[in-house]
Amino acid sequence: MAEEIHKAVPALQFPVTGSRPERGAPEFGVVSWSGQEVRQLSAFVAERGLSAVDLFRAAFAVLLHRYSGQDDLTLLHLAPDDAGTCRATPVRSRVADHTPFSALTAALASRRRKLVAEEPLPPLTDLLGDGLHAGFLQGSVCQEGSVAEEHPAWAELHLLLAVEDGAGGPAFALRYDCALFTPAFISRLAANYRALLLDACARPAADIRELDILSPQERGLLVAGIGARALEYDREACVHRLVEAQADRTPRAPAVEYAGRTLDYAELDASANRLARALRQLGAVHGGRIGVSVSRTERMVCLLLAIHKAGCAYVPLDPSYPADRLGAIAAGADMSLVVYDTADAPRWLTRTGLPGVPLAQLWDAALEEDPARPEPVDAGTPTHLIHTSGSTGAPKGVVITHRNVTALLAWAHDTYSREELSRVLFGTSLNFDLSVFELWAPLTTGGTVVVAENVLALTEDASLAPTLVNTVPSALSVLLRRAAIPDSVSVVNVAGEPLPGELVDGVLSGTRAGRVFNLYGPSEDTTYSTGRCFTAPGTPRPTIGTPLPNTRVHLLDDAGRLVPYGVTGEIHLSGDGLAAGYSGDPERTAAAFIEPPAELAGTGRLYRTGDLARWTPDGELDFLGRRDNQVKVRGYRIELGEIEAAARRLAGVDDVAAVVVRAGGEQRIVAYVADAHAGLAPDRVAAHLETQLPHYMRPARVVVEPRLPRLPNGKTDRKALGARPVDWGEAGAGELTDPFQVRIGAVWAELLGVAAPGPGLDFFSVGGHSLLANLLAARLTDLAGRPVRVAEVYAHRTIAEQARLLKDSPFEPGGTDRTVIGTVLRESTTGHGVPGAGAAFFVDGTVEYAYQGHADLERDVPYTAVTRQRMTCVTKVLIACVALMLVDRGLLELDAPLAPLLPEGFRRRDGNTAEVTLRQLLSHTSGIDDSWEVWHDIDQPDLTGYVTGFRDYQQLFDPGTIFAYSACGTSVVALLIERVTGAPWRRAVNEMLLSPLGIKRIPETNDPGDHYGDEVATGYLWHADDKRYQRFEPGPQTVADDAASSFAVCFTTEDLVALARFALDDGATPDGRRLLSRELATAMRTPQIDIPGHHFMHAWGLGWLLFGPSAFGFNSNGSGHHNFIQVFPEQGAFLILLANAYPAFGVYEDLIQSLTGERLIRTGRPFDLALDDCAGRYECDGYRLDVTRGQQRLEYAYHERARDGSWTPLDEGELVLTGAGGFSSMSERNILAGSISFIPAPGTKDPAFVRMGQRVAAKVR
């Protein structure tokens, strides 16, 4: 006892709402109440030789125990002594839940009497250290000049309960520090004390844990669930039925978008229906589970929807996970089938013996299935399994049902507008539950799922343009630092880890987003359980808000009791989102999903989250961390025990402890491994863990030592390990030898918290990860003066390698990065006065996009990824491709006469149609002359009549079986398609070509909802007199959605990317599905006929425009649009440009030169040249152009060299200035069709060359 009294009083772990100021006297408040209801205590105290004060003090100790969770606490007892002074006695209280209250009261009374007998007491300053202290006073706190006020402890006690005897019973008062507590909190504390005291008096023999501290009013609120509210929704609905209903409402709206490909709702629904039936054919049964190990594309979304339609649940199997991890998931998931990406089954799958199927094979099989919707599914059917980290070393599979997901969607529909859900970024792995919201919230409200590899894709691809982004705070920090949150984003959802207030402020003050949601929820409660919306900056510490509709939150202590307001408790969840449990693991299910305590009877099962929180006075939840070894690192939920279990599977590991440390401004995992025999190297342990754990669970550092520190009870001293300085590998790493290395080393030190990184350190072995790699790429970009991609950081992992990377590839004007394309596009459109444009460059398997300017200047509509432009000539590609697909299917023949199928209006010059073949027709439509565009006469409703109208059309040549170009060529092939398929050609194009390529359907009717709407850019035409582009409103005959029978379509930049990739891939889709045989794909880019030399630049083979010898401008000059596509077959690359201005040759050629370095037009605006200076003779390769100055325009004469060496005149006419980049030739014969551009000599404005198509002729005089 003597030793105990000399120990410092431990601080009380008590919830506070503020902090005491460093200077000035503390200010105290008092809450008082009468204790009449506890007057009848004589029997209880007399039987035990106690006093009422002993009982009151014991009850106060129990109250502090329940509020703080401390089993061992000390109260400073203040009481007057016989000398007329106040004596302060520190009474240590060991409060055990199973101790009867009467026994505790007696023990504390005995302890105090013994302490009072001890002499002398040490100075109070030695007893009271830092922190919060509480006391008990026998007397009044309201009596001025009392002996208690004179005691040094008076001002040091932050919370004091005073009890004074009175005629009407005891009088109680709580004196509190106003800087630490609010009056409302103290009033609730007083009410809890009164409730506890009454119950203790009524049941003194009850265990402490059984005593009630809640007032009736507070209990009513807590039992009902603070903030709980009901939201009506269809509890029998299934997720896929909600998507189907949306598909019925908006069949042509874009549903899924990925890498330039778009599926509308009708296509998504039909594809999923077919896939569902194909899955059934492979053995999928209602209630079964299907593994999904495929990459993130639009087909993944189709597959997930199909699995739901088949009545099955999907099991995410990330292909990037280690084989052992995937095998462990498969062992407990009870799957009947696994769908994978590769041609051959993954090795881990073959070891399991489970059946599998490649996605491409499944997709092909689905084409033969009925597109009708399968039979209904019960709402209680599981939708998916989410595997979370497990403390035993095995992942836990959380089983989620349709009813769970529809409850989440009911909240989403109630919380977010359709505009906010119109483009939701799908950037979260299927292995994490945020993906559930990202997929189904937009697809059940008419929005678009924008598929991306992850949320950091926003740092490198501005074309994604989402309206809502879901992410974790650590990734949000990167997006803010990279200024990568697009202007299109109106809402940011954040979850997964505590959200700092500065991130909320950064979003709301630094971006155009108007709402930030801080969301909380475990996978076991279907993604989200609580939330708080912020709309203005200035949030110091965001809470996790209030329960979502149809969810209730209860905070319970270790004994399963409801805790009062302001007291820390474990979050327990109930409601419609609660999962069914863990797959195949009844023990862990029973431990986590529990029956409610008696006071919560009727609430249904509770899920014990292991998360700690307390209710704020405003009825919101303040998140306080975990009660176990589960941690959140960069938003990932990780059981440290699983890391330790994985490490123990390596021979030689005696013991292991994984701890979380703070380094470089973030949390990192360090694994300490005990190896008494010194036979393990850290690299070997790290390599082993790479085969066992997904990337986010791998330790940032492995430390091997002979033994781990221990506590007296024999357990590992984790606190000591966490406090150690970590050796991040700086020592002995070598010196940084050149300026590049020094500058890169400084960036590493800042990002990683590494004091002295050496040139040979691996970035990812010293704490580097995907988020930091993204920030490093940005910093290296600043150092290099050229864009550095994240992939380059992964490929060059050391400072030495990164320094060589920057030195070996200095910045040059050309390049393939989006930043370079974006810069050229911005400068060129500005210089040429083009209102808006979109560009794409494909090389090395990667597409880079850039967008600039406005789709509509007057309405201030930006040009974006969803902007469409009208184009006509591309229809020849679509129709020719579908015709050859029909050849592949045996419905047409390439070289057989087509007389039975041809309309009467189509005639060769000799009037004979009997020998006309499809090969000839397709060759005809390949563009021998582009002087007539199909938009001129599309007001003819009937194709046969339309073709007949060209009966007297004069042919330009007499090349035997070669037909002159006119609109009838494309029309006739379209008519053949309609007669063979029995469907309008637009529908055939949609179903056979566009849908498989992920391109949005072209309109088939003039019905409302089947149009492109406001997605089509406004057109602008060049006016030579004003020397600028002016808004142009085309007539209705040129608008595709106003005339479904026309040959005009409206495509985005990404649509054309899908077509160009189809060309490069020999008629196959990106995932390997073949739409066209290799033989016909080769024929489509092989010239079938001899073309006169002066028209060679306009010939394309079997209608395959994409492989022509020059870029083909999809010249919708009738609507003020100019569109280009250039394919480089040998390099496997292509360039696409869409500009809402005609003409836009200059912008196109600026891009070509920036990417290839070829000498093309670099004149800027053509009117910078003096027309007189253009006059002269230009010659090259058997071509000659004589240019003279006419009265108003330039005049030309075009010659070609004959075999005898003489020059043959072929064409003459005028060159008309056309705006950005060149002139157009105008003549009766129109042989020199296309653009003519003059190129100045380097460093001058004097023309030295002329460009005719791809031919560049030098000025000879």
pLDDT band per the 50, 70, 90 thresholds, residue 970:
low
Contacts 24+ apart (CB under 8 A), 942-946: 943/903, 943/971, 943/974, 943/975, 943/978, 943/1045, 944/903, 944/904, 944/905, 944/975, 945/905, 946/971
Strands (E), 129-204: 134-138, 159-164, 171-177
- The pLDDT of 1209-1229, averaged and rounded, is 69
The yes-or-no verdict on residue 714 having pLDDT over 80 is no
Nearest to 529 by CA among 492, 571, 592: 571
**Which range, of 92-101, 607-616, 820-829, averages the lowest pLDDT?**
820-829
The yes-or-no verdict on residue 720 having pLDDT over 60 is yes
Residue 68 DSSP SS3: helix
The yes-or-no verdict on residue 452 having pLDDT over 70 is yes
Q: Find out whether 849 and 864 touch, Cβ atoms under 8 Å.
A: no
Nearest to 852 by CA among 821, 813, 812: 821
828-1156 fold: Beta-lactamase (3.40.710)
Give the pLDDT score at 959: 29
- Higher pLDDT residue, 390 or 510? 510
Tokens found for residue 472: 């974790």
How would you class 931 by CB atoms within 10 Å of its CB: exposed for 0-12, middle for 13-18, buried for 19 or more? middle
- The pLDDT of 714-723, averaged and rounded, is 74
The yes-or-no verdict on residue 20 having pLDDT over 70 is no
pLDDT band per the 50, 70, 90 thresholds, residue 816:
very low
Complete DSSP assignment for 694-712: -GGGS-SEEEEES---B-T
Give the pLDDT score at 921: 67
Q: Among 3.40.50.970, 3.40.50.300, 3.30.70.1450, 3.30.559.30, what is the CATH number of 2-221?
A: 3.30.559.30
Distance of alpha carbon 563 from alpha carbon 555, whole angstroms: 6
The yes-or-no verdict on residue 834 having pLDDT over 60 is yes
Give the pLDDT score at 624: 78
The yes-or-no verdict on residue 960 having pLDDT over 70 is no
**Which range, of 454-463, 582-591, 909-918, averages the lowest pLDDT?**
909-918
Q: Find out whether 1043 and 1107 touch, Cβ atoms under 8 Å.
A: no
Q: Per residue in 478-506, pLDDT tens?
A: 899 888 999 999 999 999 888 888 899 99
Structure letter (DSSP) for residue 1003? P
1166-1259 fold: Lipocalin (2.40.128)
Give the pLDDT score at 190: 92
Q: Among 3.40.630.20, 3.30.465.10, 3.40.640.10, 3.40.50.980, what is the CATH number of 260-377?
A: 3.40.50.980
pLDDT band per the 50, 70, 90 thresholds, residue 470:
very high
- Higher pLDDT residue, 468 or 206? 468
Give the pLDDT score at 836: 92
The verdict on whether omega for the bond into residue 80 sits within 30 degrees of 0, i.e. cis, is no
Residue 917 DSSP SS3: strand
pLDDT band per the 50, 70, 90 thresholds, residue 332:
confident
Give the pLDDT score at 944: 41
- Higher pLDDT residue, 732 or 792? 792
- The pLDDT of 947-957, averaged and rounded, is 36
- Higher pLDDT residue, 28 or 437? 437
How would you class 134 by CB atoms within 10 Å of its CB: exposed for 0-12, middle for 13-18, buried for 19 or more? buried
553-626 fold: Luciferase; domain 3 (2.30.38)
Distance of alpha carbon 234 from alpha carbon 242, whole angstroms: 10
Strands (E), 706-772: none
Give the pLDDT score at 1118: 57
Which phi and psi (to 5°) does residue 400 adopt? -110, 140
The residues pairing with 469 across neighbouring beta strands, listed in sequence order, are 492
Tell me the H-state helices in 128-260.
Answer: 183-202, 216-224, 239-249
* Percent of the chain topping pLDDT 70: 75
pLDDT band per the 50, 70, 90 thresholds, residue 932:
very low
The yes-or-no verdict on residue 561 having pLDDT over 70 is yes
Degrees to nearest 5, angle at CA 13 with 12 and 14: 95
Q: Per residue in 1199-1212, pLDDT tens?
A: 888 878 888 888 88
Most confident of 591-605, 761-775, 840-854, 1047-1061: 591-605
- The pLDDT of 855-864, averaged and rounded, is 83
The yes-or-no verdict on residue 424 having pLDDT over 60 is yes
- Higher pLDDT residue, 920 or 320? 320
739-808 fold: 1.10.1200
Give the pLDDT score at 809: 56
* Percent of the chain topping pLDDT 90: 24
Give the pLDDT score at 439: 98
Give the pLDDT score at 1113: 43
Give the pLDDT score at 1006: 60
The per-residue pLDDT of the chain, averaged, comes to 78
Give the up-direction half-sphere exposure of residue 619: CA atoms within 13 A in the CB hemisphere: 11
Complete DSSP assignment for 398-427: EEEEHHHHHHHHHHHHHHS-TTTTSEEEE-
Nearest to 818 by CA among 1155, 1161, 427, 481: 1155
Give the pLDDT score at 507: 94
| Domain limits, CATH 1.10.1200.10, in the chain | 739-808
630-723 fold: GMP Synthetase; Chain A, domain 3 (3.30.300)
Most confident of 533-537, 709-713, 762-766: 533-537
The yes-or-no verdict on residue 619 having pLDDT over 60 is yes
Tokens found for residue 213: 């501290």
Nearest to 53 by CA among 36, 78, 70, 74: 78
Distance of alpha carbon 125 from alpha carbon 131, whole angstroms: 13
**Which range, of 54-58, 306-310, 701-705, 1141-1145, averages the lowest pLDDT?**
1141-1145
| Domain limits, CATH 3.30.300.30, in the chain | 630-723
- Higher pLDDT residue, 907 or 1128? 1128
pLDDT band per the 50, 70, 90 thresholds, residue 1094:
very low
Distance of alpha carbon 1223 from alpha carbon 1169, whole angstroms: 12
The yes-or-no verdict on residue 352 having pLDDT over 80 is yes
Nearest to 588 by CA among 529, 520, 639, 657: 639
Give the pLDDT score at 1176: 92
H and E: helices and strands count for the chain: 36, 50
The yes-or-no verdict on residue 48 having pLDDT over 70 is no
Give the pLDDT score at 997: 87
**Which range, of 371-385, 878-892, 1163-1177, averages the lowest pLDDT?**
1163-1177
